[in-house]
Structure 1
Amino acid sequence: MRQFTETEALSGIVCEALGAGVHVVGVDRLRGGSKKGVYRVHVDGPRAASVIVYSWAGVENFWPGAEGIDAAHPFAPASGLIPFLAAQRRLDLLGVRVPAVLLADDGRRRYPADVAVVEDVAGGTLEALLDTDPARAAGALSELAAMLDVMHQQHSQQYGRVDVLERGDKASGVSCEQLVLERALGDLAEAAERDSRIGSVAAPLHDRLQELAARVSPRREHGLIHGELGPDHVLVDASGHLVLIDIEGLMFFDVEWEHVFLRLRFGEQYPALSRPGLDPARLDLFMLAMRLSLVAGPLRLLDGDFPHRTPMLGIAEHNAKEALALLPLS
C-alpha cells in the first residue's frame, strides 16, 4: 500500500514558501497524476488561502520501472523538478501563462523529495468550462490558439526536451519522424501482446506504419510544443485567462505531434485550434502512432497499482478501435 505525504510533511515547505504567520490547516491530494503527486494545501495567514505542491517522490510515480531508457530521449518519461523549472522559465519568457513558482527545492532539507510550491489557480479546468459554459469556452479556445501560435512559432533546428537542450545535450535519434516510427513499432508489439484485436492485425499495422513513414519528407526546423495538451491540462484563472500545467514534457518537435494530440483530446472543438500548413504525411503517421501509444501506455500503467483503472481501460479500448479503423480497407 502506497503511503502518500501528510499535512505535517508539507507544512515546513509551505511555510518556507509563504513566510511567517502561515499555518497549514488542510491538505487534499488531487486526483489524476500518475508521475508526480499534486496537493492542494490550505493555509491560514496573511498570504494566499491555498497553494499547490508538486512532489516528485518515487512513491508518487505509478509507471513501471524505466531502466535502460535514455533520459535525453524526447519520449523518455518527462518528470522531475529540473524539466518542470526549465519549461516554466521558457513559457514564462514567452508570455505563456503558467503557475507562478513560489519555492522550488531539490535539497530535501524540509521534504524528502524534489518539490515545488506553486500558485493555486482556482478557476477550474478548460475541460470543465467546455461542459458548463460553451460561450465562455469559445473565447478560451481562441486564447489557447493564440498561446499555441506563440509556442509553435518558436523554432529550433534541434529537437528535444527544453531541459535537455538547455544543458547542451543532444536528443536521441536522427529525426522526429524516425523517433515516432520506432516508438510506434514498440507500442504495436506491446499492444499486440495485450490486446487480441491488435494482435490479429499486427502485421498489417506494422506495414502501414512503415508505409506512412516512407511518405514523410525531411524537415530542419521544429516548433515548441507542450506534448500532452488536453483540456484537463489547461486551467482558467480568476480573470478568465488560461494557465498551462503538466508542462514537464515541453520540447522542440514536429508541431504535427501536438496537433494530433489536440485533435484527439478536443474532438469537435479542435477546429478552433487547427492551423493551415500542417504536413498531411506527418499527421497520418503520427495519428496511427498516437493511437497505438494510447493502447500500450494505459495497459502498461495498469500492470502496477494505479488506482483509476476503469478510465485507463476505456482509453485503451477506444484507441484500439480507432487504430484498427486507420487500416486501409482491403
Structure 2
Amino acid sequence: MKSEDHLALVDLQEYVAEVLGSEYIVAEVTRLHGGAQKVVYKIECKNGFSCVLYVWDLSHNYFQEEILNGSAFQRSYGGSLFALNNHYFKKQGIRTPALYDLNKDRDRYPFEYALVEYVHGKKVEAYFQHDDPRIRHELFQQVGQLLSGMHVIKRDVYGKADYDGSNDRPCHELQREHAEEALSYASEHLVNVRDHHDSLLDKLYELETNIHSRSRYCFIHGELGPDHILVSDDLQPYFIDIEGAGFFDIEHEHSFLEFRFGEYYRYLRNDNLDRNRMMFYRFCHHLSLISGGLKLLHRQFPDQRFAKDLAEYHSRCAIQITSSGIGNGIIRGN
C-alpha cells in the first residue's frame, strides 16, 4: 500500500492509532477529488473502518495569494476555522461530519491536518436527476429543513462564530469591496468584462444604494452549493466544507443558493428576504465567480474547462444584469 504525498505512511499510521486506537491499521489511502482550498484523502482500515484526512496545505491552495492578503473575517481557510465551525455546528444541531482530531502542531509537517468522519454517500447534486421523484422530494425537503435550522440562529453582530466584538460598518460593504477587486481582476483578462467595466461598476454601486441598514444577522454556510452537501446512504444531508461559515446577511446565502440549485431552490426558498439585498449579493457573486474562475484557470486548476466555463458564464450573467434594468429603483422588503 502506497501513501499519498502529504503524510508519510508511518506517520499517518501513528496518527490514526493515536486518535482512534491501535486496532485501526491503515490499509489504503486514496486522494479524493477535492475543492480548491484543501486536500482530502480517504483512509480505509483493515478492520473495515473508513475516515477522511483533511490537509490544509497552503502550497496546494489555488487562492493562496488571497488568503495571505485577505482580512480576518473573509478568511475561509484552515483547520482552526474548520474546528471552530464543526464544534458550533454540532452544538447547534446542524448536521456535519464529526471531527475526530485536529493536529495543529506543525512539528513534522508545515500544515494543519485532521481526521474526520467518512460519510458513505454522494453529493446532493447526484440526486438532481434521481429516478424516483419521491426520494428527490424527501431529500430536498430535508435539505431545506437543515438549512432553515441553521438560518434561524441569529445575533446582533456579523463575523465568525467566536467573534464577540462589534461591527464598525455594514457587512455588505465588505462584499462590495470584494466585488470591486474581482471586477478589476476580471477586466484584465476578459475582453467582454473590460469592455463593460464601467457599466458593471456603476451597477454594483447602484444596487448597493438600495440597501438600508440592518443590525440582525443569520448564521450561514457562506458557499453552499450542491457540491457542499453530502447525502448519506440513508438520505441524511450533511453540510461539508464549513470553514467559511459565520454570521452575515442571510441574502448572501440565498442569492447563491438560488442559481446553484435551479429548480430545486423551491425547497430552500425563504419568502421573508430583502429583495434589494438579494439582487446586490447575486451581482457580487457573479463578479466573484468570474474572477474565481479566471484564477483557477491561470493557476493550473486540473479541470481547466470547468474554470473557463465558470468565468465565461458568470461574465455573461453580470453583463446581462447591467443591460436588463434590474435594480433600477428600490424594491420594498424586509
Q: Which residue of 2 aligns with 1:282?
A: 277
Q: Which residue of 2 aligns with 1:232?
A: 227
Distance 1:7 1:28 in 2: 13
**Aligned positions of 1:199-210 closer than 5 A:** 199-210=194-205
Q: TM-score, normalised by structure 1?
A: 0.91
Distance 2:60 2:93 in 1: 30
Give the CA deviation at 1:113: 2.4
Q: Structure 1 stretch 253-262 or stretch 320-329: which is displaced more? A: 320-329
Distance 2:166 2:66 in 1: 20
Q: Which residue of 2 aligns with 1:298?
A: 293
Contact 2:86 2:242 in 1 (8 A): yes
Give the CA deviation at 1:112: 4.8
Match of 1:180 among 171, 175, 179: 175
RMSD: 2.0
Distance 1:42 1:199 in 2: 49
Partner of 1:305, secondary structure, is: coil
Contact 1:62 1:301 in 2 (8 A): yes
Match of 1:192 among 182, 187, 192: 187
Q: What does the per-residue CA deviation read over 1:136-157, in whole Å, with 9 as the maximum and x for residues that have no partner?
A: 1221111111111111111111
Partner of 1:316, secondary structure, is: helix
Q: Which residue of 1 aligns with 2:39?
A: 37
Contact 1:229 1:261 in 2 (8 A): yes
**Aligned positions of 1:91-170 closer than 5 A:** 91-108=89-106, 112-133=110-131, 134-163=133-162, 165=163, 168=164
> Could you tell me which amino acid in structure 2 is paired with residue 12 of structure 1?
E
Matched, 1:254 2:249: yes
Give the CA deviation at 1:50: 1.1
Distance 2:178 2:106 in 1: 35
Contact 2:55 2:114 in 1 (8 A): yes
Aligned pair count reads 320
Show structure 2 runs of 5+ residues with no match.
Answer: 326-334
Match of 1:309 among 304, 313, 322: 304
Contact 2:155 2:247 in 1 (8 A): yes
Go from structure 1 to structure 2 and tell me whether the alpha carbon gap of 1:68 and 1:98 turns closer, same or farther (over 3 Å shift). closer
Distance 1:87 1:315 in 2: 28
Contact 1:64 1:304 in 2 (8 A): no
Matched, 1:90 2:88: yes
Contact 2:301 2:307 in 1 (8 A): no
Contact 1:157 1:220 in 2 (8 A): yes
Q: TM-score, normalised by structure 2?
A: 0.90
Distance 2:49 2:93 in 1: 26
Give the CA deviation at 1:303: 2.6
Give the CA deviation at 1:121: 0.3
Q: Which residue of 2 aligns with 1:58?
A: 58
Go from structure 1 to structure 2 and tell me whether the alpha carbon gap of 1:70 and 1:32 turns closer, same or farther (over 3 Å shift). closer
**Aligned positions of 1:5-84 closer than 5 A:** 5=6, 8=9, 9-45=11-47, 49-66=49-66, 69-73=69-73, 75-76=74-75, 78-84=76-82
Give the CA deviation at 1:35: 1.1
Percent of aligned pairs sharing the same letter: 32
Distance 1:12 1:267 in 2: 45
